[in-house]
Amino acid sequence: MIEQEQVLEGARQTLTIESDAILALRERIDVTFCAAVNMLSACAGRVVVTGMGKSGLVCQKIASTMASTGTPSFFLHPAEGIHGDLGMLKKDDVLIAVSNSGETEEILRILPVIKRMGLKMVTMSGNLSSTLARAGDVSLDVSVAKEACPLGLAPTASTTVTLAMGDALAVALLQEKNFKAEDFALFHPGGALGKRLLLRVEDLMHQGQEIPLVSQQTTVKEALFEITDKKLGITGVVDDDSALVGVFTDGDLRRCLEVGVESLEWTIVKVMNVKPKRILRQNLAAKALQQMEEYSVTSLFVFEQQEDTRPVGIVHLHDLLKAGVV
């Protein structure tokens, strides 16, 4: 069994080599990097990322990051490319080609087609004198002093640096395009962020006959039936013009019963809360959650406009929970 200290020292050494390699890369971010960003930003088609082996796996991540942050992008496997997949390319595309040696056979074999199509190309290579680097319109240096692999064979520091360069490009493009959190959410509708930034109150609210409402003449006992029937733990109280003038909750009911059962015959206006909490239907569901937390309530009545008095719906905390907003 390997000694524990030997394991820990090997891990620390790996992280040191890779972090040093990224810091060294930082010093090489210059006008060439800006030229690459400008070329990718001006792309009227898609950004196509290609690489072989371990570099190819990094390329898939780079393409995925760009696609999710506002730069249409996909990964092209160079070996599949020379067997027909080059048909995915269009004349307005820009290629990002990655090879640490700059001499990867599969990538070099697709270069004539790239040139024939007149596509612009950004290269990432550890050797700026390589065939690939010399073929690029812009060539980025992702060389490393050494690999973290003690044999100097397995791509480790070199793939880490390439991935970091890809992230730097993606973030620069994100900023160039003024990409916002709302835009990110559009591409991630299934994630928690997407739900918080896409779902609106009107998507989740109860409306029509599902809204618990009683008149000002209703007794506490009759209001209890409405609360029980609509299963939201609350009922709104409306005047003769259907304007919301108050709310009565199951918590209010418990406080009434502490007085005595005779409170069931009181009219609702005697015990209702005259300051109902409200929200507009076009507000984000996340804002409804924020207001519920702020006011310590579980329901909000929903209105079309700020000046409206007639509710068009009601949203409950359980609706937000079911939708994954919380």
What pLDDT does residue 185 have? 61
- Report if residue 190 sits inside a domain: no
pLDDT of residue 191: 62
pLDDT band at 134; cut points 50, 70, 90 = very high
State how far the Cα of 162 lies from the Cα of 253, in Å rounded to an integer. 64
99 near 132, Cβ under 8 Å?
yes
Encoded amino acid at 46, one letter: R
Domain count within the chain: 2
Query: Do both 41 and 172 map to the same domain?
Result: yes
Average pLDDT score over residue span 166-195: 77
What pLDDT does 82 receive? 86
- The pLDDT value recorded for residue 105 is 95
Q: What is residue 150's predicted lDDT score, i.e. its pLDDT?
A: 86
What the block records as the tokens of 68 is 């999710």
Q: Does residue 51 belong to any structural domain of this protein?
A: yes
Q: Is the pLDDT of residue 289 over 70?
A: yes
189 found inside a domain: no
Per-residue pLDDT at 183: 64
C-alpha closest to that of 276 among 228, 214, 220, 322: 214
> Which among 265, 229, 230, 223 is positioned nearest to 247, based on CA atoms?
223
Report the percentage of the chain scoring pLDDT > 90. 80
**Residue 250 CB partners (closer than 8 Å, separation 6+):** 227, 233, 234
* Domain region containing 32: 4-179
Whether 77 has a pLDDT exceeding 90, the answer reads yes
Same domain? 170 vs 22: yes
- Indicate if 163 and 210 belong to the same structural domain: no
Q: What is the pTM of this model?
A: 0.67
Residue 224 lies in a domain: yes
Residue 174, classed as helix, strand or coil, is: helix
Q: Alpha carbon 141 to chain centroid distance?
A: 30
Residues 220 and 155 in one domain: no
**Encoding tokens for residue 157?**
């520091």
pLDDT in tens, 56-71: 999 999 999 999 888 9
CATH number at residue 294: 3.10.580.10
Co-location of 126 and 41 in the same domain: yes
Mark whether 231 and 122 lie in a shared domain.
no
- Give the closest residue to 89 by CA, choosing from 61, 114, 57, 123: 114
Contact (Cβ atoms closer than 8 angstroms) between residue 94 and residue 72: no
pLDDT of residue 177: 85
Residues 207 and 148 reside in one and the same domain: no
The b-or-e profile of 157-195 (16+ CB within 10 A means b, else e) is: bbbbbbbbbbebbbebbbeeeebeeeebbeeeeeeeebb
Give the residue from 179, 209, 227 where a domain finishes: 179
Same domain, 167 and 41: yes
Comparing CA positions, the residue from 250, 257, 261, 295 lying closest to residue 275 is: 295
Amino acid at 162: T
Pick 192 or 44 by higher pLDDT. Answer: 44
For the residues 196-207, what does the mean pLDDT come to? 87
Same domain, yes or no, for 168 and 209? Answer: no
| Beta pairing class for 244-249 and 234-238 | antiparallel
Residue type, 313: G
239 or 198, which is more confident?
Answer: 239
Q: Partners of 300 in the beta sheet?
A: 315
User: Does the pLDDT of residue 196 top 70, yes or no?
Assistant: no
In this prediction, residue 3 carries a pLDDT of 85
Q: Is residue 191 part of a domain?
A: no
Same domain flag for 41 and 156: yes
Single out the residue of 207, 279, 216 nearest to residue 248, CA to CA.
216
CATH code at 35?
3.40.50.10490
Domain-embedded: residue 196: no
Cβ–Cβ < 8 Å for 157, 146? yes
- The answer to whether residue 195 is domain-embedded is no
What is the rounded average pLDDT for all residues in the chain? 92
Do residues 141 and 211 share a domain? no
- Six-digit token pair at 11? 């891990």
Tokens 């506490």 locate to 220
Does residue 205 share a domain with residue 114? no
Query: Tens of pLDDT along 206-235?
Result: 999 999 999 999 999 999 999 999 999 999
Q: Which residues contact 147 (CB under 8 A, 6 or more apart)?
A: 17, 153, 154, 155, 156, 157, 158
Residue 74 domain-assigned (yes or no): yes
Split at pLDDT 50, 70, 90, the class of 6 is confident
Mean pLDDT over 82-89 rounds to 90
- Length of the chain as a residue count: 326
At 235, give phi and psi (nearest 5°). -140, 145
